[in-house]
Amino acid sequence: MEVLRTPDERFANLSGYPFDPNYINVTAADGTPIRIHYLDEGPRDGEPILCMHGQPSWSFLYRKMIPRLTEAGYRVIAPDLVGFGRSDKPASEDDYSYRSHVDWMSQWLRALDVKDLTLVCQDWGGLIGLRMAADHLDRFKRIVVANTGLPASDRITDEVSAMLGEFEKTVPVPTVDMVREQVGSGAPGGFLYWVKYCKASPDFSVRDVFGMMSGIEDKAILDGYEAPFPDARYMAGARQFPSLVPLLPRHKQDREDNDDAWAKLETFDGPVLTAFSNNDPVTAGGEAPFQARLKGARGRDHPTIDGGGHFLQEGAPDQLSDAIIKFMAETA
């Protein structure tokens, strides 16, 4: 496995990101060492919050929330997934699978060896973070689910998967405007335009993704999100991620793995909060299964994050932070 490492100078003087790096090494299935970067901020005796990002972001996504959470007395731990941020980047798209991402981050979690965690997860941070939590329930005290999901066989049946597989064959390589239109329409197969754009578009751009999903125009912020990717060679993980969402017939084993994770999460005794934004076309309605299936979520007043967009840590960081702080104080 060829592994790339973004030069440190790419991360110098990023807007609003003054944090010191920390690293833990894990091992790929073929024995290749992979270095995972993470932030570890706030008092060491504070209750720990594990903040998991998605695609194509990195711990930079939490830069506005970290000071607010640490000022409230919490310890904030925010890793970069493999292929993102300051973490190492396997160079081939074939190096990435859903199972490998879960394995890499589970190794990292065990090496970190922290307990009583509150998981905060969004986008792929949920697909991976919830699997980590399911396999290590003894390390987690609470779960906060924000603009994410855990696709499994109850919602993505074999029939639905087969239908999406047939539709996938008809999807052209889209422009970013086509993706915006299809995802925004709420059409059942709209997400597959996003998959095809990331996988095959010669014009794939991290800047365009954040412009499309959150309307960000500030150059300094966009520079921060683009910093991990000096050129196209570093983008294999970002391009591959949407293709790993377990929707299609080839993903049946991943859905079954998620079935197992749901079964474990349904035994979780800790409090659960959903905090979805009201204007995310990707995960709209995704809070319902968590509120219904996880006993720690039942009977709770779940906030709706107003105007946060898909990247609600960017669009509504104070509102999301305050919801987390309130939740943790109420369930201390």
Domain ranges in the chain?
3-155+253-330
218 neighbors 227 (Cβ within 8 angstroms)? no
Q: CB count, 10 Å around CB of 249?
A: 12
Q: Active site residue: 37, 53, 101, 310, which one?
A: 310
Question: Mean of the pLDDT values across residues 228-239?
Answer: 96
The tokens describing 46, both together, are 């504070």
Q: Active site residue: 80, 95, 123, 208, which one?
A: 123
Catalytic (active site) residue 88: no
Question: Mean of the pLDDT values across residues 285-291?
Answer: 96
87 neighbors 80 (Cβ within 8 angstroms)? yes
Q: What is the pLDDT of residues 193-220, one digit of tens each?
A: 999 999 999 999 998 888 887 778 899 9
pLDDT (0 to 100) of residue 281: 85
The tokens 């000071």 sit on which residue? Answer: 67
Rounded to 5°, the CA angle 133-134-135 comes to 90
Residue 328 has pLDDT above 80, yes or no: yes
Question: Mean of the pLDDT values across residues 317-322?
Answer: 98
Question: Mean of the pLDDT values across residues 173-180?
Answer: 90
pLDDT (0 to 100) of residue 187: 73
135 neighbors 318 (Cβ within 8 angstroms)? no
- More confident call, 213 vs 43: 43
Residue 188 has pLDDT above 80, yes or no: no
Catalytic (active site) residue 310: yes
C-alpha span between 275 and 318 (Å, rounded): 13
Catalytic (active site) residue 113: no
Q: What is the pLDDT of residues 245-266, one digit of tens each?
A: 999 999 999 999 999 999 999 9
The pLDDT-based confidence of 183 (bands split at 50, 70, 90) is confident
pLDDT (0 to 100) of residue 271: 98
Domain 3-155+253-330: give its CATH code: 3.40.50.1820
Report the chain's mean pLDDT, rounded to a whole number: 95
pLDDT (0 to 100) of residue 29: 96
Count of positions (residues) in the chain: 332
pLDDT (0 to 100) of residue 214: 77
DSSP codes of every residue in 106-142: HHHHHHHT--SEEEEEETHHHHHHHHHHHHTGGGEEE
pLDDT (0 to 100) of residue 59: 98
pLDDT (0 to 100) of residue 189: 82
Contacts of 72 (CB under 8 A, 6+ apart): 325
Residue 63 has pLDDT above 90, yes or no: yes
Residues above pLDDT 90, as percent of the chain: 89
Q: Which of 233, 231, 258 is nearest to 245 (CA)?
A: 258
In b/e form, how buried is each residue of 161-187, taking b as 16+ CB within 10 angstroms? beebeeeeeebeebebebbbebbeeee
* Amino acid letter, residue 307: G
pLDDT (0 to 100) of residue 121: 98
